[in-house]
Amino acid sequence: MNYVIEAEGVTFAYDEHPVVEDVTLAVEAGEFVGLIGPNGSGKTTLLRIMLGLMTPDTGSVRLFGQPAEGFREGERLGYVSQQSTEADSTMPITVREVVTMGRYPHVGLRRLRPDDHDIVDDALERVGIADLADRRINRLSGGQKQRTYIARALAGEADLLALDEPTVGVDADSRDRFYELLNELNDRGITIVLIEHDIGVVTEHVDTVVCINRELFHHGSPEAFAESDALARAYGVEGMGKRAPARKQQL
């Protein structure tokens, strides 16, 4: 198997308060994974550990076959956190400048070449925001900002795209267009792992559902998830039965 992420026995606690307990899972190259769980279930912590941004208390993580703690190919990772759009909300920086940042790991100390600018232009086109290239980032909608950060990852030629609740505050039409974009990128071979609060979105779009609440309750297909009692056990919802809730229901 060609694994992008391999996590084994991962445990992590904040001030002796465990938030992730003995989680083992792997993400294959080209897979589209939805990570779900109730608020405070450890989703963001697990994602950051899987990306090598945090070190587990116990257990291990490998990225592209290498130990995460020594991984030095950061340009292969495109991470859009919950705070990404907030960080640039007051900065006088344009969309093109944000996307161009994706080239810096490749450029090093040299100046940008014409082919670097071509890659930036292509990334803007691929996510459908070429017409916004000269607009200030703080004048974009939430959905436009998310596309900008994805374009930055594409400009960096990332192989893995990780998103933490990318559609929070985005209207339904923009959300649907956003997932169309993610499906297109996934079809082109980019591995995607996202945290999502909408169960219907997960079951409709991803290949694999990972459901956690500190511990791992499900790691498999959306169909197997819908037929299991993992959702009820993870969310602590009595009487929910063995099926997932109707599509578009949010938890």
Q: What is the mean pLDDT of residues 207-213?
A: 97
In whole angstroms, give the CA distance from residue 81 to residue 76.
16
Residues 6+ positions from 111 with CB-CB distance below 8 Å? none
Q: Find the helix or strand (DSSP H, E) in which 168 lies.
A: none
Sheet of 32-36, strand order: 77-80, 160-164, 191-195, 32-36, 208-213, 215-220
Mean pLDDT of the chain: 88
- Is the pLDDT reported for residue 207 higher than 50? yes
Q: Could you tell me the pTM of the whole model? A: 0.87
Q: What is the band of 247 on the pLDDT scale with cuts at 50, 70, 90?
A: very low
- Is the pLDDT reported for residue 108 higher than 80? no
Residue pLDDT, tens place only, 43-96: 999 999 999 999 999 999 999 999 999 898 988 999 988 766 555 556 789 999
Domains and CATH numbers, the chain: 3-91+160-235 (3.40.50.300)
pLDDT value for 85 = 55
pLDDT value for 131 = 97
Buried b (16+ CB within 10 A) or exposed e, 110-133: eeeeeebeebbeebbebbebeebb
